[in-house]
Amino acid sequence: MPHDFDTHFARRESDSVKWNLYGADVLPLWIAEADFKPPQAVVDALAARVAHGIFGYTAAIGHASAPGAGWELPEIGAVIVDRMHRLYDWQITTADLVYLPGVVAGFNVACRAVGQRGDAVLMHAPCYGPIAKAPGNQGRQSQFAPLHEGVDADGLRTYHHDDDAFGAAMDAQTRLFLLCNPHNPTGRAFDRAELTAMANRCIANDAVICSDEIHCEITLGDATHIPIATLSPQIAQQTITLMSPSKTFNIPGLGFCVAIIQNPVLRAQYVAAMQGLVASPQIFGYTGALAAYKHGDEWLRDVLQYYHANREYAIGFIRQYMPQLIPNRAEATYLLWIDCRQANLPTNPKEFFLSHANVALSDGSAFGAAGEGYIRLTLATQRSVLQQALEAMYVALQPYS
Amino acid sequence: MRYDFDAVVDRRGGDSIKWNLYGDGILPMWVADGDVLSPPAVIDALVKRAQHGVYGYAGAPAALADLLVKRMKDLYDWSITTDDLVYVPGVVTGFNIAARAVATPGGGVLVQTPNYPPILNAAANHDMVTQTAELKLVEKNGIIDYALDMDAFTGAMTDETKIFILCHPHNPTGRLMNREELTAMAHACIERGVVICSDEIHCDIILDGRQHIPTAALSPEIAQHTITLMAPSKTFNIPGLGFSFAIIQNPELRAKYKKVMGGMVPHAGIFGYVGALAAYEHGQEWLDQSLVHYAGNRDFAIDFVKTHMPQLHITNPESTYLSWVDCSRAGIEGNPKEYFQKFGVALGDGRNFGAHVGNFVRITMACPRSLLADGLEMMRKALEPLS
């Protein structure tokens, strides 16, 4: 039986940041989080774990030499190894895995693990805020390579890796490239040629790649995800891949992420940079991730269809009623990246839709200077909520069109 | 209501590192992780949150901060504000952040020994230098105790000392430092511009009606130099929920602390907030009874050691549910922890608690009495061939 993603349920009375940051009359389509319950197996597993009644340590504490360091939570490693093989024909072992509470911590650790204070970290522009801030957090310089922005036959925005810009942004100080693939906010799932170009430049420049692939399983329609580390064994040796069930199964609040690092030297550096500060995932991250990976695939298949339909609906609505806005056609992620620069708005578009439409979106400028004049809209909600938000945006635009 | 601290819950085969590290044949009493059920109010709140079914990005409930402010006032007559609170996923992370916030690589981190391993390892995590001041071992009637050695304390400090990580109440000795000792250490730190990070994770596990004094509550001046770390983890036996808090009243110090956290350290998860709130709100009666249970376990252990294993010398902890045992006169060849493990019980290894305490073991007594009795009996059998 297909899962029901249409039934709306109250989230405001919960601890949800998404639903409580703005007022009670505002529809929140900002943060990258879905309004759906995860697979029932996840809820059941958490409920069963909680009923057990004792909540102790799941990992050694604080240091690689701590008593118990090396003990591994049961099953999860094998499940992830199997999943990489099944989805990407990628052969890894459980020894390649490092567990973390989230991908943001994951790429911050990467910044600290690679190079020295003052070295540079390269990123695409635009890119989501926590990536852009990471180098600065860790005493590194930031370098940005703009993506190439274009328009497709339908008049929708497209984004591609611009290899010349990428090469120009790199210099001798570039020790790390923070890739976001699939790309947030543009929804691009980079193809093999693009990824190969990036990787070759990194190898030539002796820069490590940290690939945030948190959206790897949110691919829509025919789009496919290629982990950059699967391009070649040589590239794998220079890559830290970050994955997580957070977006896939809508469990960001449980805090589980895995870094896949096949190069043992790089992995040791990475683990050293975590010591004391970044702990292993806790009980609920582990319990939720395990249940989701083991039992969530049918749910995932259904939810992807729902995201796909929401994307088509939103694009259709915008083209018909708000042609002054130019969205992308996200191949991956449940995010719509919308160019508002031709809409003639009196204020920043995020402020405009918040005050005139009571719809909370993400401000493009939070994704760097390349995002000025854009908004990001989260499609992962009930169709009725999406419809209501788009209609409110349409009404708000009327006086300005 | 009466809570049952003697119910034995099967923890094997799941996510517990305590129960699974050494395999099925071994009774684990090593890590400071209790085997008693959490307060029912905590379990109920977690069940309800689990059944809610959406686990998105979660904020901390405002009620939690208010509750913590009130708790500090009620328990310690310590006035703090909600702004002084910083949530962290654990106290170990908490003092590692503190080290980084006030010292750079090469800087000195002062600690007292013996001490629990994460405190001793903190400096090395950040390429800093560990400076150790030994506590003074005192023995009376076969019971061992520890006192502050102020000469050793000031003697361990150098111009490079940037931070003192205090463990108070003290793990593994169970010592509860008094006002005079705390004041002496605090003044020595302030005189030398050393920040105090006071790990008070055991602050609620105070036995026999004693009173814990937070270092920062000694004076407003000391508070300005102090980062205090507390948690419901030991108090309500919920270490795996990953909720702790720092109290930092000096805004400049707090800003530095938060800057180190940026990007690296998530605050706490959904279940950490839910569990902490329920525990602090509804857990007092459970806590009161748990302390009676722990004190009873302590007295049982002391009795057992005196009667059946007089060659061991044990602490009489004023706080914590930990017992610290000197095995140096038991005739054990090699590491006592490894020796006892051959007889079925896994204890905390003294070698991880300081250079000079390799002949000690630590026993975690936060368990049903029957498990404690089993563990002690295994130790007795282990010593039999040696006497």
| First-last CA distance in chain A | 44
A118, pLDDT greater than 90:
yes
Q: Looking at beta carbons, which residues of chain A come within 8 Å of B55?
A: 38, 42, 46, 250-254, 284, 288
Are A332 and A307 in contact, with CB atoms under 8 Å apart?
Answer: no
Grade residue A80 by pLDDT with cuts at 50, 70 and 90.
very high
Helix and strand numbers, DSSP H then E, in chain A: 13, 15
pLDDT higher than threshold 90 for residue A223: yes
* pLDDT tens digit sequence for A158-170: 999 999 999 999 9
Determine, yes or no, domain membership for A216: yes
Domain presence at residue A12 = no
Name the pTM for this structure. Answer: 0.97
Compute the nearest-CA separation of B296 from chain A (Å). Answer: 21
Residue A115, pLDDT score: 95
Q: Which pLDDT belongs to residue B204?
A: 98
> What average pLDDT does the segment A169-187 reach?
98
C-beta atoms of A284 and B36 within 8 A: no
What was the pLDDT predicted at A280?
86
- Three-state secondary-structure class, residue B94: helix
Q: Please give the backbone phi and psi of residue A388, each rounded to the nearest 5 degrees, phi first.
A: -60, -40
Instruction: Give the HSE-up count for residue A367: Cα atoms under 13 Å, Cβ half-sphere.
Output: 29
pLDDT reading at A279 higher than 90: no
- Overall average pLDDT of the A68-97 stretch: 95
Residues near A146 by Cβ (< 8 Å), separated by ≥ 6? A124, A125, A162, A165, A370
Backbone phi and psi for residue A359, each to the nearest 5 degrees, phi listed first: -120, 125
Q: How far is CA A65 from CA A271, B121, B279, B346, in A?
A: 12, 9, 32, 18
Other C-beta atoms closer than 10 Å to the C-beta of A365 total 18
Nearest to A142 by CA among A151, A130, A133, A150: A133
- Cis, bond preceding A182 (omega within 30 deg of 0): yes
pLDDT digits (tens, 9 = 90+) for B210-231: 999 999 999 999 999 999 999 9
Q: How many CB pairs under 8 A join A and B?
A: 228
Yes or no, beta carbons of B89 and A11 under 8 Å apart: no
In a domain, A115, yes or no: yes
CA-closest candidate to residue B293, choices B374, B370, B214? B370
Tokens of A213: 């692939």
Residue-level pLDDT at A1: 57
CA–CA gap between residue B126 and residue B158 (Å, rounded): 18
Q: Identify whether the C-beta of residue A26 lies closer than 8 Å to the C-beta of residue A360.
A: yes
CATH class of B17-40+284-386: alpha beta
Q: State the CATH architecture for B54-282.
A: 3-Layer(aba) Sandwich (3.40)
Range of the domain at A168: 56-295
Mutation target for A interface from B35, B121, B271: give the one with most A CBs within 10 A.
B271
Query: Is pLDDT above 70 for A246?
Result: yes
**How big is chain A, counted in residues?**
401
Question: Rounded to an integer, what distance in angstroms lies between the CA atom of residue A345 and that of residue A365?
Answer: 15
* A256-267 average pLDDT score: 97
| Residue A49 falls inside a structural domain | no
pLDDT confidence of residue A69: 84
Place of tokens 């009161």: B288
Query: What is the secondary structure of A96-147 as a DSSP string?
Result: GEEEES-HHHHHHHHHHHSS-TT-EEEEEES--HHHHHHHHHTT-EEEEEEP
Give the count of domains, chain A. 2
> Which of A31, A67, A279 has the CB atom closest to B30's CB atom?
A67
Distance between CA B70 and CA B74 in Å, rounded?
6
Question: Does some domain include residue A139?
Answer: yes
A253 and A341 together in one domain: no
Q: Give the pLDDT band (50/70/90) at residue B380.
A: very high
Residue A138 and residue A73 in one domain? yes
Q: What is the mean pLDDT of residues B113-119?
A: 97
- Sorted by where each begins, the domain ranges of chain B are 17-40+284-386, 54-282
For residues B272-295, average pLDDT = 98
- Domain endpoint, select from A295, A329, A353: A295
Give the bridge partners for B131, in sequence order: B110
Q: How far is CA A327 from the centre of its chain?
A: 19
A290-294 mean pLDDT: 98
The confidence score (pLDDT) of residue A129 equals 95
Residues A101 and A186 in one domain: yes
Q: What is the mean pLDDT of residues A293-309?
A: 98
Shortest CA distance to A306 belongs to which of A209, A222, A395, A221? A221
Side-chain half-sphere exposure of B367, counting CA atoms within 13 A:
30
Task: List pLDDT tens digits, range A348-382.
Answer: 999 999 999 999 999 999 999 999 999 999 999 99
DSSP reduced 3-state for A327: strand
Q: What is the largest CA-CA distance in chain B?
A: 60
Q: What percent of chain B has pLDDT over 70?
A: 100
Domain identity same for A265 and A377: no
Residues of A in contact with B47 (CB under 8 A): 47, 50-51
Same domain for A191 and A160?
yes
pLDDT tens digits, A49-76: 999 999 999 988 777 778 888 888 999 9
**Do A113 and A220 share a structural domain?**
yes
Counting Cα atoms < 13 Å in the Cβ hemisphere of A283 gives 29
> Which residue, among A8, A31, A42, A57, would best test binding to B if mutated, counting the most B CBs under 10 Å from its CB?
A57
Backbone angles phi, psi at B198, to 5 degrees: -100, 105
- For residues B64, B67, B73, B76, the Cα torsion angle rounded to the nearest 10 degrees is -70
A336 neighbors A374 (Cβ within 8 angstroms): no
pLDDT > 90? residue B182: yes
CA trace torsion B257, B258, B260, B266 (10° rounding): 130
Residues A203 and A89 grouped into a single domain: yes
Min Cα distance A399 → chain B (Å) is: 36
| A196 part of a folded domain | yes
The angle at the Cα of B149, spanning B143 to B150, to the nearest 5 degrees, equals 155
The answer to whether the CB of A286 falls within 8 A of the CB of A58 is: yes
Q: What is the pLDDT of residue A9?
A: 79
Output the DSSP codes for B120-173: HHHHHHTT-EEEEEEPEEEEETTEEEEE--HHHHHHH--TTEEEEEEESS-TTT
For the domain that residue A22 is a member of, what is the CATH number? 3.90.1150.10
Compute the CA torsion angle B148, B325, B201, B249 (nearest 10 deg).
10
A5 within domain boundaries: no
A301 and A287 in a common domain: no
Instruction: Locate the DSSP E strands across chain B.
Output: 27-29, 85-88, 108-113, 129-134, 136-140, 143-147, 161-167, 195-199, 226-230, 244-248, 313-315, 322-326, 345-349, 360-364
Note whether A343 and A243 are same-domain residues: no
Per the DSSP assignment, residues forming a β-bridge with B253 are none
Q: Is B275 touching A (CB cutoff 8 A)?
A: yes
Whether residue A158 sits in one domain with residue A132: yes
* A71/B17 Cβ within 8 A: yes
In the predicted model, is pLDDT for residue B378 greater than 90?
yes
Chain A residue numbers with beta carbons less than 8 Å from the beta carbon of B19 are 56
Confidence of residue B119 (pLDDT cuts 50, 70, 90): very high
Residues A169 and A185 in one domain: yes
* Residues A255/A282, Cβ–Cβ less than 8 Å: yes
Out of A31, A47, A57, the one facing B33 most closely (by C-beta) is A57
Q: Are strands A208-212 and A239-243 parallel, antiparallel or unpaired?
A: parallel
φ/ψ (deg, to 5) at A100:
-140, 165
Question: Quick one: A275 and A340 in the same domain?
Answer: no
Cβ contacts of A68 on chain B, cutoff 8 Å: 17, 21, 31
Q: Tokens representing A243? A: 């994955």
Contacts of B272 in chain A (CB under 8 A): 282
Residue A4 within any structural domain of the chain: no
Of B37, B54, B55, nearest to A54 by CB-CB distance is B37
Portion 80-139 of B in contact with A at CB < 8 A: 89-90, 92-93, 96-97, 99-100, 117-118, 121-122, 124-126
